[in-house]
Amino acid sequence: MTTGVRTSYREAIRSALREALQRDPRVFVMGEDVGRYGGCYAVTKGLLEEFGPERVRDTPLSESTFVGAGIGAAMNGMRPIVEIMTCNFSLLALDQIMNNAATVSHMSGGQFSVPLVIRMATGAGRQVAAQHSHSLEGWFAHVPGLKVVTPATLEDARGMLWTALEDPNPVLIFEHALLYNAEGELPADAGPVDIDTARVRREGRDVSIVTYGGSLPKALAAAEELAQAGVQAEVVDLRTLRPLDTGTIVASVTKTHRAVIVDEGWRSGSISAEVTARLVEHCFYELDAPVRRVCSAEVPTPYAKHMEDAALPQVADIVAATQDAVSTVA
């Protein structure tokens, strides 16, 4: 591994996009404002000037149209990267994603594949109200035929795209909008990373905090605070929500015997609910306390800053839930 370079989550994704465009002439980027404007979150800034309008395509404001076009292009040998501004808008293309991209391989008996990558911002915390702030990745993780990944680190932001483009089936990449400005060291030789396994981001012995995406920095901050109080929390980054890496989760909880799941989605029918169910199925007798969940309040995301903060999982909420889990005996 070579010396790291200081960069941001946004720049790591842009670097991955640039490399994909350089490496494979079948790759092109399409979406609303990805070209001349440089992307809603400036991720694609400069790529139009570098690669031209055939490779970086601005589209009409019609998610169903350009996602459908991406599916068609993928089925005809291209490697499209489709950007949807926010996951809330992905619902306008739900028919294309669920009834077409996810099913074509199955319904054709494997004769056709859809090597499509869809990138979209997810999550709240920016005061952009209920139509631009929700975390819907758990909805798509419910659908067979899709792979759903949630990069939370610079390495994953840089490396997951490479691996996703090599997958013969559709891959949805959910990028938490609050991570775009996050900075850190990225190895100069950073390359592809797997999109199949969870990672233990912090070792611990007392309790497992299981999370993903934009909640990972909060979980790590909570673990640091808990360590000051003598509680050693292990932090597991799910990374991929479908397929879910049950083995890594179970191994961690088997070691610590307690679990706290942090999920910015709503509690009902959530990723946190699925992880809880798998823990009950696979290691129920290893649990020394009930599983705790820290999720968003079941309301449309508020606009007002103090209300939005109150509706979302925060470090203090994770600390409190973890302390409760550690102090409780089943």
Catalytic site positions: 63, 132
Q: Considering just the CA atoms, what is the radius of gyration of the chain in Å? A: 20
Q: At what angle do helices 271-283 and 246-256 cross, to 10 degrees?
A: 60
Q: Which has the closest alpha carbon to 219: 134, 135, 297, 314?
A: 314
Assess whether the previous peptide bond of 60 is cis (omega < 30° from 0): no
Q: Which has the closest alpha carbon to 222: 291, 322, 123?
A: 322
Residue 239's region, left for phi above 0, alpha for psi from -120 to 50, else beta, is left
Residues 269 and 138 sit within 8 Å (Cβ to Cβ) = yes
Strands (E), 283-329: 292-296
Residue with tokens 């991929």: 240
